[in-house]
Structure 1
Amino acid sequence: MKQQPKEHLKRSLGFGSAISIVIGTIIGSGIFFKQGSVLDSAGNSTLAIFAWILGGIITLAGGLTIAEIGAQMPYTGGLYIYIENIYGRIAGFLAGWMQIIVYGPAIIASVAGFMSILLTNFFGLGIEWRIPFAVSCIVLIGLMNLLENKISALFSVVTTLGKLIPIAAIIIFGLFWGNQNALGQTMTEINQSTGNFGVAVLATLFGYDGWILIANLGGEMKNPQKLLPKAIILGISAVLIIYTLITIGILRFLPAELIHQLGENAPAYMTTKAFGPIGGKLMSAGIIISMLGTLNGKMLTFPRIVFAMAERKDIPFSKSLAFLSKKGKAPINATIFVSILAFAMMLFFNPDRLSDLCVFTVYCFYLLAFFGIFILRKQNENRPFSTPLYPLVPIVAIAGGVFVLICELINDFHGVILFLGFVVLGLPIFYLVKRYYGEKI
């Protein structure tokens, strides 16, 4: 195992903060705004529900696999560190580069974009306000993350608890007051070119995405060998149950045909219809708070990858990007860097497309990590955590990852090539940076 650089981030995160970050980072825009696209691609409500369940199973298998790897490498950087220690320096760099240039900014821009849709509906404004709202949300959360990590972690705990209110209300109201049959609903008019069941599962994976980001905070946990696996497994399991119940609740309350017609406006319509104008506003506010918590989790974790890479002089402007504030030990310049890239993503891509492309890109490296568990099993007999039902669980994770890549290649070939191009661009940059610092590869 390679020796890691001396870290300066504070180890102040306990189990409550860790699992709140996992759940808070996962539950956000996806479960609310992907209902329509999942339903459209699946073709009927039964397959839509099954898509959410299958997406959760794939995610849980991946989480169980990564938990074993992460417990052996409890350092700041997460996937970036895992890939390097298993496959070498260049592969590790590309995993980190992918997250800071493509995946991180894209997912932040996507969440902020979905949140801006809800905000414009909330205030009754036109679509021209979406980008200003999205930018404002990123700036607000980014500023908070310039402070000590305890503040962002506390915000994650508060928003995680707060988001349970609208979620519980939607589940209870839908299950007990809905008069639709959640199973067997079909749409009379649907554009079949929008996708298929595979694309539906891909859409749900954006809703589940974010679980691995807690691994980026390994260097800031009090006891990462124990906390990291526990937070990942319990967090994903809880979200799987919640997502299934929400989907059934929504389908019991709103006909599939209406969800198809409403699209992105389905969450606002449902809350108003269920709880009246005032209650609908309060519920929409709760969902917005939920999404702010998700955005905070991503703004808390991605700059840590930039910091980890900059501290090792892997990227341009490393000295500046590795800067930490004196009091809070927060990666200030790294946070600003990620925010600027997210702003750029907003201008060129819509949130829905961004969400699919960022899931595809990260799953390319998830697959490498999933295969890596077999390599580590041969190298290390003593492990802080062992994946249950090995090797079945890693095989399920790998199969799910291959499924994701094939579906998105078929669904958006040009977007995939563009995003992979950004990743490959990192190679010449890496060699130039290393030549500048006089380091041999």
Structure 2
Amino acid sequence: MKSPGNSEQVELNRSLGLWSALSLVIGTIIGVGIFVRQAAVINEAGSAKAALLAWLAGGLLTLAAGLTIAEIASQNPSTGGLYAYMEQIYNQFWGFLSGWMQIIVYGPAMIAALGSYLAVLVGDFFNTAPIWHLPIALGSVCLVGILNMFPNRYGGAFAIITTICKLVPVAALIIFGLFFGRADAFSSSIQGLQTTAGGFGVAMLATLFAFDGWILVANLGGEIKNPRKMLPRAITLGILTVMGIYLLVSYGVLKSIGAQKVHDLGTAAIPYIAQKDFGQIGGKILSIGIIISIIGCMNGKIMTFPRIMYAMAKQDQLPWSKKLAYLNRKTRTPIFSIIAVIVIAGLMIVLTNPDRISELCIFTIYCFYVMAFVGLFLLRRRNPNQPRVFSVPLFPLTPLLAIAGSLFVIGSEILSDPIGVIVSLSIVAVGCPVYYFKVMRKHHN
């Protein structure tokens, strides 16, 4: 094995095609949200029709965001995604902060939260004692991490397999709801909630969180074949596919048992439908589907977040940059960056509540989203005559819609969790002295 100092001789393997990229978009979006957020959306919307409209509105806002980023990605298909875009549009400081937040807190917290939830589901499936939850969570994160130390085609193939597997229970819910459901999926409402519900806006906010993760495939810009064309296609087709799936699942659930029953059952609504339609074996099949869904989602995140760390380390912006920028000569993967993200995620599983930490970062990630969306206008003004492989349709309406949706999330977070917003900003602020000592001092010297 060569020393880390020779890592510049090895390049990332540009081997991922459209199907791998598309599976990563779908796989990183569809985790557990579609299975557990049905009741939350209906409770806030107050009626079946309003709930379906909330899912549609959330999908359209996400699509607007995806189309906006797709144009930026077509011009700068670099490894690092949002980090690379922020650096290109603004400067190295803003790029660093967006990357810092993603690799130190947001990404590892999301991976850790998925591992913790997976451990509970696996424990319930095999009736194991709660004492096994911690080793199962840590073991699952480590195993998926090891998979991603092999050439990226293995992670890409795994994304395709898990995406297909997770769509089997989703398809069953849709088919049985559409063809065998007897409830009124459009006009049913929840008694007593119409006046107390948080309203359509809060319901839409719940769906936006279920759509999050679409941008992560952009972190693999240096490993996707013909990324200027493939990235926009993968992002657009992926979001459209997920939007269709979410709408059909929600409609199928409402047609199966109605809005009132979904409200009464809460997060148990979909397991109830599975057992009602398929018997006891249905519950087991659904549990397997959710477990596979979580593993696939975790694979997408472990595959993408270390690429941000690798891209930052290549520019010597992080402590131990030589190690973190190292690519294994045989696998051509950033193994030390993968290990670093796994270690941080593991510490979060053991020491913190990773689900809460990932929630805290929602505010700052959407702040960076807004800056990136505004950046499209800046790029067009700077380079008015530059030919574009992909142009966002309905410009400027589409990026304006993306900005409005992100500002809605930011405003909602400020109103609902001001302490969390302060903590979120503090996490980003910690990156400032790191940037100064690692980047600015290097320039001054």
Letter in 1 for 2:13: K
Q: In the alignment, what sits opposite 2:5? A: none
- Alignment gaps of 5+ in structure 1: none
Residue 443 of structure 2: aligned partner: 439
Alignment partners' CA distance in 1, 2:67 and 2:402? 9
Q: Does 1:245 align with 2:212?
A: no
2:382 corresponds in structure 1 to: 379
Give the equivalent residue in structure 1 for 2:227. 224
Cα–Cα, structure 1 residues 187 and 354, in superposed 2: closer, same or farther, change >3 Å?
Answer: farther
Q: Take 1:191 and 1:139, find their aligned partners in 2: how far apart are those partners?
A: 46
Distance 1:120 1:389, change over 3 A: same
User: Which residue in the other structure is 1:333 paired with?
Assistant: 336
- Answering whether residue 61 of structure 2 is matched by residue 58 of structure 1, we say yes
CA 1:251–1:276: 2 relative to 1, 3 Å: same
Query: Is residue 83–residue 99 contact of structure 2 (8 Å, CA) maintained in 1?
Result: yes
Change (3 A) 1:52 1:126: farther
Change (3 A) 1:420 1:281: same
State the alpha-carbon separation in 2 of the partners of residues 334 and 248 from structure 1.
42
SS of structure 2 residue aligned to 1:364: helix
1:426 counterpart = 2:422: no
Q: Is the 8 A contact 1:148 1:330 kept in 2?
A: yes
1:397 aligns with 2:397: no
Alignment of 1:196-211 (within 5 A): 196-211=199-214
Please report how far the alpha carbon of residue 316 of structure 1 lies from its aligned counterpart in structure 2 after TM superposition. 1.5
Give how far 1:33 is off. Answer: 1.9
Give the equivalent residue in structure 2 for 1:96. Answer: 99
1:69 aligns with 2:72: yes
With over 3 angstroms needed to count, the CA separation of the structure-2 counterparts of 1:257 and 1:357, relative to structure 1, is: farther
1:176 is aligned with what amino acid?
Answer: F
Give TM-score scaled by structure 2 length. 0.91
Could you tell me which residue of structure 2 aligns to residue 161 of structure 1? Answer: 164
Q: Which residues in structure 2 correspond to 1:241-390 (within 5 Å)?
A: 241-346=244-349, 347-349=351-353, 351=355, 353-354=356-357, 356-380=359-383, 381=385, 382-390=387-395
Q: Secondary structure at the match of 1:77?
A: coil
Q: Does 1:38 align with 2:51?
A: no
The secondary structure found in structure 2 opposite 1:220 is coil
Does the CA-based 8 Å contact 1:79-1:369 persist in structure 2? yes
Structure 1, 188-197 or 362-371: larger mean CA deviation:
188-197
- SS of residue paired to 2:16: coil
C-alpha separation in 1, matches of 2:197 and 2:354: 16
In structure 1, how many angstroms separate the alpha carbons of the residues matched to 2:218 and 2:125?
Answer: 34
Between the aligned partners of 2:192 and 2:125, the Cα distance in structure 1 is 29
- Give distance in 1, aligned partners of 2:360 and 2:198: 15
Q: C-alpha distance in 1, partners of 2:233/2:144?
A: 27
User: Aligned equivalents of 1:364 and 1:80: distance in 2?
Assistant: 13
Amino acid at match of 1:141: V
Would the aligned equivalents of 1:199 and 1:408 in 2 still touch at CA under 8 Å? no
In 2, the alpha carbon distance for the partners of 1:200 and 1:132 equals: 35
Provide the aligned C-alpha RMSD in A. 2.4
CA shift for structure 1 position 8: 1.5
- Contact 2:48 2:187 (8 Å CA) reproduced: yes
Question: Could you tell me whether the CA contact under 8 Å between 1:65 and 1:373 is conserved in 2?
Answer: yes
